[in-house]
Each structure stands twice: as C-alpha cells, then as structure tokens.
Amino acid sequence: MSLQIISIILGSLTLASALMVVLSKHPVRSVIYLVITFFLITSMYIMMNAQFLAVVNMIVYAGAIMVLFLFVLMLLNLNKEVEPMATRGSQLAAFIAGGSLFLVLITALKDTLILGQSYRENHSQIGLVKELGNLLFSKYIVAFELTSILFIAAMVGAILLAKREKQIIE
Amino acid sequence: MDTALLIEKSILVLLLFLVSLGAAAYMTYFERKLAAWIQDRVGPDRAGPFGILQPIADGVKMFLKEDFIPAKADKWLFIIGPGIAMFTALITSAVVPWGPKLHLFGRDIVLQVADINIGILYVFGVISIGVYGIMIGGWASNNKYSLYGAIRASSQMISYELAMGVSAITIVLLSGSLSLTTIVEGQSEVWNIFYQPVAFLIFFICALAELNRAPFDLPECESELVGGYHTEYSSMKLGLYLFAEYTSMFVSSAIMAILFFGGYNFPGMSHFSGNTLAVLGILAFASKIFIFIFVIMWIRWTIPRFRFDQLMHLGWKSLLPLSLINLLVTGLVIAYKNGWF
C-alpha cells in the first residue's frame, strides 16, 4: 500500500518535471529539469527492483548524455535575441510528428501494462544484472550485437566528421 | 524491515557522515602540515598544540564570512551548486564495506550501509553526476573564469571516467561480481594489485583527474583562471566546495583500497576471529586509506600541473587504449583458465 503511494508520488513528480522541461523558458533550466526527470525515472526502476537498469540509466542518461547537453548549451550562450523563431510550418510539422509519436507510445504502453504485471509476478529478479546478462547474451544476442555495430558506426562517423573539418583549417 | 535493523543502519549512516566530515576537516590540516614539511616550513601551529585546532578555526571563519551572491548570477543554481558537490561526495560511502562483521548486543552488525549487488556501478553513477555541482556552480556565477573552470572540469571528468571505468571492469572480471563486498572477500588470499598492476595505475591516475587534484587541477588553476569554478563563491558555499573535494578524496581512497588493496583484508587474518578481527580489519582499512591520502597529497606538492592539451592527450591517447588492451588481455587469460581454447 505504502509502495503504491510512493509510486504515485514519484510518477506525478516525474510528469511535473518532464512538463517543466518543455515549459521552462531558459534552455539550461530545461536541461536541469530533464536531469531531474531522469533521476525520478531511476528511482522508479529501483522501486521495481531493477537495480542494474536504475544505475545504468543514471550513468548513461543523467551522467553522460545530459552533461554533454549542458556543456554545449553553456558554450552556446543562448538567449531571447538570438533564439531562432519557429515558423508556422515547422510548428505544424513538430505538432504532427510529436502527436504521432505519442499515439505510437500509447498503443505500445497499452500492451506492456498487462505484460508487465504478469512479468513482475513471475520474475522479481528480472532487473538484476545476472538475469539481464543471461537474457542479453542468449535470447537477444543478435539485437545486442547489431546495436553495438550501430554504435561503432556512429562513433566512426563522428570521428570522421571531426577529422575532415580539421584538415580544411590546416 | 525490523526496527533494530533500522536503528543500526541509522547509527551507521550518522557515524559515516561524521567520520567523512571529520576526516575531510583534518585532511586540510594534514595537507597544510605536509606541504610545510615538504617545503621546509613549520605550517599552521597557532591554534592549539601543533595547530591541531586549525580546521575548527577555519570552519568557524568560513561560517562567519559574508555570504555574497553576484547580482547577475542565477540565484537558485548558484545556491544549489555547492550542495550537489557535497551531496555526491558524501553518498558514495553508503556502499563501502568498512570492515568484517561486528558482533554486538547479540546481533551481527554488517559494517556497510547498503550491500547492493551493483555496488561498483553505483560508485560510478555517483561519480558521473558529481560533475554537475561544478558545472552548475561555474555557469550560474556568470563569470568567464568560472565558466572556463566549469568547462575544463567537465571535459576532464568525462574523458577520464572512461579509462577509469574500463580499468574497473577488469576487477569485475576477476571477482565475477559487481558487489563491493564480494570483491573484498575475493581478495582474502591475494590482493588484486598483484594481478592488475596496470589497471591500478590507470585507475589511480584517473582518480586524481576526477578529484581535480594536482597534477590535474586545471579547473582551479589559479595562475590562469583566478579561482576556477569557485571564483565568485564566498563564505560556507566556498567552504562546501573545498570540503566536498576533501571528502571525495577520502571516499575515493577507500574505493581504491577496496578494488586493488583488499579492503579490510590484511596478512595473517586467519589467526583472529570475532570482534578482534572486525576491529583489526577496520584499522587495516583505515591505514590503507591514510596511505592513499598521503600519496595523493605528496604528488600534489611534487609534480607540476599539466597543460590542458597534454591532459586530453594523456586521457584519450594513452590511458584509454592502455586500459582497453589490459581489459582484452585479462579477458583472454580468464577465458583460457576456464578452458575456452
């Protein structure tokens, strides 16, 4: 019972901080709200006894990606005057794109609600590192390896772009 | 959860909090004394015998100074910055196993606040969010020197985290567990340093960089950046930043002792048992931490600072490839031992 209350409080806090990401006027503040959102999601993972996922979420999203976001924003020094104004067309496009993503997410979430319930009852250890490792390296091995190839391709691409620019300067 | 466990853990948390703060306070004294000895001076000797009350005098001074917030600073973030720095410095100690089990009042007391099965990842998670304290504080000050300091700190910490993580993975491969308790227990015979000297060297260098200690103290390099990320800070906010640095030095010395030097294990451990063993274990662990702190300070007063491009080269072009090769070799040896070839 008390667990349920905590989940409800955490969930509403997550939604509130996620909303503040969009609503807050200052880009750096938005990023900080996003970091808070990731922390709240981490706490949700812990509530579900998925310690490994929780910590990985913390390291990768809150610790690495958001630091880079903040890094770039601090260097850009964005303010009202230099902020590019969105045209009516791009606003409409953003609305349609965001709306369709939202629809897809809702249809996806409708099934996980039922699936998650039965999963949690049968496998309370599913989020721990041993179970996750076994699953990743047996059932999902192809997807796992393909993802790593994708990452390496992206990394090589980024390095190539950075190198080419340097040659032009020289 | 039963009440006795709750009380036990609360007392442990309180003790850890006080010990970390006390250790950090007396590390400032020790550092000043050590610097004095290295430079053939006397060091602080006015407050109390041998200047032993100097940290308390410093603390009182910090509290009594004027607390100033620059007019153009982002007020809330300016206040939050030092808080995050101190918070992240303190919470790492929650997963550290401080000694073998104590037996008191008919109960076995585990000297660790939380034995989570991903202890080492938790440590890395906390390290990776530790950079926010410096970044937010430096940016919110609205001062170019602070911003430079913050940007240096974050790029340095991101770069060195990688090599540090990879060298820690070798230890995970050796012990077959992410839990710090299991890692310590696995070293009761042979310490990990004898299997992994290269990983230790990389880990130690990276820890110096993560701590912003010399020779990697570019974020607060006074000859270029006035005071670095805390240029605009005063009073206890500045105190918290400096304090956080010493607290994380204490905790990271503990982590290094756990990963490579056997934690609370010491030679001849099998001759003792019960509470004697626990007390001796704690003492062994404390002396290892002390030695690490001493070495870190010794390096600061011996080696000059790196240039920033040298720092980046060292991190990305030397330490990271070296740690990857080390990881590969370790993995191959372990696979060979398990009969894969």
B128 in contact with chain A, both atoms CB, cutoff 8 A: yes
Q: A71 vs B154: CB contact, 8 Å cut-off?
A: yes
B245-258 confidence digits (pLDDT tens): 888 888 889 888 98
Q: Residue B217 — φ and ψ, nearest 5°?
A: -90, 40
Is A131 a domain residue? Answer: no
Answer with the residue of higher pLDDT: A168 or B160: B160
Of the partner residues B117, B122, B154, the one whose CB lies closest to the CB of residue A67: B154
Res B274 pLDDT > 80: no
What CA–CA distances, in Å, run from B320 to B126, B161, B202, B233?
21, 10, 9, 34
Of the candidates B122, B139, B178, which has its C-beta nearest A28's C-beta? Answer: B139
| pLDDT at residue B106 greater than cutoff 80 | no
Question: Is residue A135 assigned to a domain?
Answer: no
Across B121-134, average pLDDT:
85
Whether A146 is in a domain gets the answer yes
Here the ipTM equals 0.79
As a whole number of angstroms, the distance between CA B241 and CA B86 comes to 7
pLDDT at B211 over 90: no
In three-state secondary structure terms, B71 is coil
Tell me the three state secondary structure of residue A103: helix
pTM, two decimal places: 0.84
Q: Give residue ranges of A with CB < 8 Å to any B CB.
A: 28, 32, 35, 51-52, 55-56, 58-59, 62-64, 67-68, 70-71, 74-75, 128-129
Domain positions in chain B are 65-337
Same domain assignment for residues A108 and A64: no
Task: Name the 3-class secondary structure at B145.
Answer: helix
CB contact under 8 A, B135 and A74: yes
CA distance B213 to B202: 15
Two tokens, residue B122: 């938790």
- Domain membership flag for residue A52: yes
Q: What is the CATH number of the domain that holds A63?
A: 1.20.120.1200
Q: Which of A59, A70, A129 sits opposite B124 (nearest CB)?
A: A59
Average predicted confidence (pLDDT) for chain B: 84
A6 shares its domain with A58: yes
- In a domain? residue A33: yes
Hey, what are A88's tokens?
């009516």
- Candidate from B10-14, B71-75, B258-262 with smallest mean pLDDT: B71-75
CA distance B162 to chain A (A): 11
What does the pLDDT average to over B280-296? Answer: 89
Do A40 and A106 lie in one domain? The reply is no
Domain housing A159: 140-170
Judge if A51 and A98 occupy the same domain: no
Per the structure, how many domains does chain A have? 3
| Tens of pLDDT, residues B31-68 | 888 888 888 888 888 887 888 888 888 888 888 888 88
Q: Which of A64, A70, A129 sits opposite B128 (nearest CB)?
A: A64
Same-domain status, A62 and A36: yes
pLDDT in 10s for each residue of chain A, 170 residues = 677 888 888 889 999 999 988 888 778 888 888 888 998 988 888 887 778 888 888 888 888 888 888 888 877 766 655 566 667 888 889 889 999 998 988 888 776 666 555 555 555 666 677 777 888 888 888 988 999 999 999 989 888 887 765 555 55
A74 with A90, same domain: the answer is no
Q: Are the C-beta atoms of residues B118 and A55 closer than 8 Å to each other?
A: yes
Whether A51 sits inside 8 A of B136 (CB atoms) is no
